Structure 1
Amino acid sequence: MSETNRAARSDGDEEQVSGAEVIAQALKTQDVEYMFGIVGIPVTEIAVAAQRMGVRYVGMRNEQAALDCDWWFF
């Protein structure tokens, strides 16, 4: 990922974090345990970052499967 697509931390630290990592941390903060979605380029970075945070990503082939899966999975 290019440096222009990264945001600096608000605490002034020099370390850079990606937007995907920010989203993953927000999901973890909200106690999200599972993510359902369609496997593909827009979601890949977020899914990988979420998995690093301990959120399980369940990939689907289409939107209907992802939507219907949430009740079945629990």
Structure 2
Amino acid sequence: MDTKKQHELERVLEETLHDGVQHAKGPDAQEEARERITAPYHYRVKAERDPIAEETAIIRRMAKEPDGKYDEYAES
């Protein structure tokens, strides 16, 4: 998407959100409109440990599955 079109869409979105704030005045209305716009990016953090895998390992130590169909996943 070219930048001119993107800026136009952002302007329309901001105006729409600003109108949805019930025409509040002042910097609070602009701040509320800005907060309603979601960020175009996401942060991902690599986990040091996997709590689900740890819990699964504890459960697998307490009980074994009769057919062993998940054994290959637990080994990795």
TM-score by length of 2: 0.23
Name the larger-Rg structure.
2
Relative to its length, the structure with more strand (as a share) is: 1
TM-score by length of 1: 0.24
**Higher relative contact order, chain-length normalized (CA < 8 Å, sep 6+):** 1
